[in-house]
């Protein structure tokens, strides 16, 4: 929707209809869609990712709605290239191996929680990646996102005042040079974030933020730690950029 001028998120309602895997649920969905159209006196736009061809056809004929099928762009061309007929069966992408994948993602989340906020030294040897940055630069949510989505063991290390005033790389990080990634943020943004947390504190002062960030940047440059400015970048994009810049292979996708 963001590709169309003049359509703001206030102008449409998003109604997710999930797990339509039986005909009864399909009928419910069709009723819901038709009612919404009548209520709004507008044609509903339905994004339907039904893999079952019969369901797709039933939906298309039963509704007074615009049906957009994102799978249509994939399944047909892939079928031609691979010279195979699609199975049109629901839920196949969550089959065999799902339990292992689940376990490994949960292990990654547990590792990330256990090593959050610098409780690193002993267990960092196991980390795929160690995020480094000043307090409130986005380390915790990013490390959890990477753990949940990619099964990566991500530790994080907050640069303390002592670290920032010291010489070179903080000692606990020295054995792990190759696995470090720095997160940066603009001083103004950091100031806002910290003000919300500890209003009026020295910690939140713009000047404190500016000094800490300058020192953190200097460390990243001097120690050749790849880094990223997270100001106005979403957690998804930060995570993707980290994978891209480090070349780390996800354990699971």
Tell which one of 99, 162, 165, 178 touches a second copy (CB under 8 A): 99
Task: Verify binding: residue 31, a second copy, rule CB under 8 A.
Answer: no
Distance, in Å, from the CA atom of 93 to the CA atom of 87, rounded to the nearest integer, reads 12
Beta bridge partners of 157: 132
Q: Does 86 bind a second copy (CB under 8 A)?
A: yes
Task: Decide if residue 18 touches a second copy (CB under 8 A).
Answer: yes
- Can residue 165 be called a binding residue for a second copy (CB under 8 A)? no
When asked if residue 114 is in the footprint of a second copy (CB under 8 A), the reply is: no
Q: 3-class SS at 77?
A: helix
DSSP 248: P
Nearest approach in angstroms of CB 1 to a second copy is: 8
CB of 19 to a second copy, least distance (A): 7
- Is residue 253 a contact residue for a second copy (CB under 8 A)? yes
**How far is residue 29 from each of residues 13, 22, 252, measured CA to CA in Å?**
16, 11, 33
Name the residue nearer to a second copy (CB basis): 165 or 199.
Answer: 199
What interhelical angle do 23-40 and 53-62 show, nearest 10?
A: 30
Distance CA 144, CA 125 (A): 18
Out of 28, 57, 106, 207, the only residue in the binding site for a second copy (CB under 8 A) is 106
**Dist CA 91 CA 87 (whole Å):** 11
Q: Residue 155: beta bridge partners? A: 130
Subset of 211-240 contacting a second copy (CB under 8 A) = 232-235, 237, 240
Instruction: List Cβ neighbours of 222 (8 Å cut-off, separation of 6 or more).
Output: 168
Residues contributing to the site for a second copy (CB under 8 A):
1-7, 14, 16, 18-19, 43, 45, 47, 51, 66, 68-70, 72-75, 77-79, 81-82, 84-89, 92-95, 98-99, 101-103, 105-106, 109-110, 113, 116, 138, 140-141, 144-145, 148, 189, 192-193, 196, 232-235, 237, 240-241, 243-244, 253
């Amino acid at each position: 929707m963001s590709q169309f001028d003049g359509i703001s998120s206030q102008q449409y309602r998003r109604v997710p209809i999930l797990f339509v895997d039986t005909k009864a649920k399909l009928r419910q969905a069709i009723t819901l869609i038709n009612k919404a159209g009548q209520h709004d006196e507008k044609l509903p736009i339905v994004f339907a990712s039904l893999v079952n061809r019969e369901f797709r056809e039933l939906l298309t004929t039963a509704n007074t709605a615009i049906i957009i099928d994102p799978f249509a762009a994939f399944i047909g061309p892939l079928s031609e290239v691979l010279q195979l007929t699609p199975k049109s069966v629901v839920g196949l992408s969550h089959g065999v191996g799902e339990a292992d994948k689940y376990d490994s993602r949960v292990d990654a989340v547990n590792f990330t929680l256990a090593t959050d906020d610098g409780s690193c030294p002993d267990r960092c040897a196991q980390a795929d990646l160690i995020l480094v940055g000043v307090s409130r630069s986005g380390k915790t949510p990013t490390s959890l996102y990477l753990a949940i989505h990619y099964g990566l063991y991500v530790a994080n290390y907050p640069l303390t005042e002592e670290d920032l005033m010291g010489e070179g790389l903080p000692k606990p990080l020295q054995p792990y040079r190759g696995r470090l990634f720095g997160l940066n943020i603009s001083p103004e943004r950091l100031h806002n974030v910290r003000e919300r947390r500890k209003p009026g504190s020295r910690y939140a002062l713009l000047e404190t933020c500016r000094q800490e960030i300058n020192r953190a940047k200097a460390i990243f440059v001097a120690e050749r730690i790849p880094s990223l400015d997270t100001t106005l970048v979403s957690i998804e994009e930060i995570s993707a950029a980290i994978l891209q810049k480090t070349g780390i292979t996800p354990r699971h996708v």
